[in-house]
């Protein structure tokens, strides 16, 4: 990932240092994985298909944000993607919670972090 473009952007005062992102995302992906394993291993079958679909959508949106932001340098497209990601995370939490409460609750830090990332993306869009 080329950070040259990112380093040239005007950033808001609350922008975290770049070295924070990798460890935080490592924790988030660990929580996502744990949640998904708990969800898949639940004996409850109601809402499982909807939860699985919501999960796949959110993970695809998650993985599409970085190319939109860092490769295409599109603050607008990455913002649209992250808003859709937030919606899909909320739906995933709802469906996971209906199948397994812990599976849904474990995703709350991911929702909060992604909400912060959306606010940061929006702020970068306004400043640049």
User: What is the domain extent for residue 58?
Assistant: 25-127
The reply to whether 48 falls in a domain is yes
Answer whether residue 97 is part of any domain: yes
Section 107-112 average pLDDT: 98
Q: Which residues make Cβ contacts (< 8 Å) with residue 58, sequence separation at least 6?
A: 85, 88, 89, 91, 92
Residue 59 falls inside a structural domain: yes
> How many separate domains does the chain show?
1
Given phi > 0 = left and psi -120 to 50 = alpha, else beta, which region is 107? alpha
pLDDT for 1 equals 67
Domain assignment of residue 88, yes or no = yes
Q: Is residue 29 part of a domain?
A: yes
- The sign of the torsion formed by the CA atoms of 81, 99, 24, 112 equals positive
Q: Is residue 11 part of a domain?
A: no
pLDDT value at residue 47: 84
> What would the two tokens of residue 51 be?
């939860």
pLDDT above 70 for 2: no
Is 8 within a domain?
Answer: no
Report yes or no on 14 lying in a domain: no
pLDDT in tens, 60-95: 999 999 999 999 999 999 999 999 999 999 999 999
């Amino acid at each position: 990932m080329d950070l040259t473009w990112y380093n040239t952007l005007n950033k808001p005062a609350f922008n975290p240092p770049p070295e924070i992102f990798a460890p935080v995302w490592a924790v988030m992906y660990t929580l996502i994985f744990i949640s998904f394993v708990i969800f898949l291993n639940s004996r409850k079958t109601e809402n499982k298909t909807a939860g699985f679909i919501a999960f796949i959508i959110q993970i695809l949106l998650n993985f599409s944000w970085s190319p939109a932001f860092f490769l295409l340098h599109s603050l607008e497209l990455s913002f649209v993607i992250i808003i859709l990601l937030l919606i899909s995370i909320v739906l995933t939490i709802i469906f996971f919670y209906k199948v397994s409460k812990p599976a849904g609750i474990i995703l709350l830090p991911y929702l909060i972090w992604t909400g912060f990332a959306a606010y940061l993306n929006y702020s970068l869009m306004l400043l640049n």
